Structures are given as C-alpha cells and as structure tokens.
C-alpha cells in the first residue's frame, strides 16, 4: 500500500466482519481514510467482492490513480483479462474496472495513488 499520510501515530489493529450479502455481486469498500469499515492512514482504498454467474460490478478510477486487483479464489474477468485464483492485475491509465463472468470468485481491489 501507499505510504502513511501521517507520521508518529500509534500503531493500531482493527478487525471487522463483512457480511457476505454486502459483497455479493458488488464491491464493498472495506478500508480507506474515510467512509469505510476500517480506517487506514494512506491515500488508498480496499474493496472486496464475491461474484458468480451473471453478477458484475464496475469501479470508476480517477485518472491520477492506479488499481491492483487480486483474485483470492475462483475465476473472474477483469477488463477483458481472464484471471484464475491467485492471479493479480495492475491497472494504470484505466478510467474504470469492469468485473464479470465470475465463477465462485472472491476478489480484492486496491485503489492506489499513482
């Protein structure tokens, strides 16, 4: 992930359970500087999703940012690339991430500063 945006803060630990229905067929924002289940001190956001059959999702990415997609399990198409469990994809200069054609897929998407 990116560098911390603050220096000298106490290390901390946070754990949240994300209900399956919050991730089913969509990307759920689970960690970010604000507006997420878990707070991180970096210019980054982490999304998680579960996809099967016809479920699909899209995530807009600002032009000044990049995205890292990690497929935890299953199969999934990301911007036309077929990924298998354990695969990852770095996207830069892409305005949008398209997730589709999942087969028992669990995915993590990182929105990062370029």
What is the residue-averaged pLDDT of the chain? Answer: 92
Average pLDDT over residues 87-113: 96
**CA 100: distance to chain centroid?**
14
**pLDDT of the residue at 2:** 52
Q: Is the pLDDT of residue 3 over 80?
A: no
> What are the residue ranges spanned by the domains of the chain?
23-113
- Domain 23-113 homologous superfamily, CATH: Jelly Rolls (2.60.120.10)
Residue 90 CA: distances (Å) to CA of 39, 41, 55, 76: 23, 22, 22, 15
Q: Is the pLDDT of residue 4 over 80?
A: no
Q: For 48-94, what is each residue's pLDDT tens digit? A: 999 999 999 999 999 899 999 999 999 999 999 999 999 999 999 99
């Amino acid at each position: 992930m990116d560098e911390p945006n603050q220096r000298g803060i106490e290390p901390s630990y946070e754990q949240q359970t994300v209900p399956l229905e919050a991730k089913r067929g969509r990307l759920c924002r689970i960690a970010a500087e604000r507006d997420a289940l878990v707070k991180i001190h970096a210019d980054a956001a982490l999304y998680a999703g579960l996809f099967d059959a016809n479920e699909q999702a899209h995530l807009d990415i600002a032009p000044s940012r990049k995205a890292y997609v990690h497929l935890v399990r299953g199969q999934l198409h990301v911007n036309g690339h077929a990924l298998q469990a354990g695969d990852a994809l770095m996207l830069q200069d892409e305005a949008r991430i398209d997730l589709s054609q999942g087969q028992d897929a669990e995915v993590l998407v990182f929105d990062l500063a370029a």
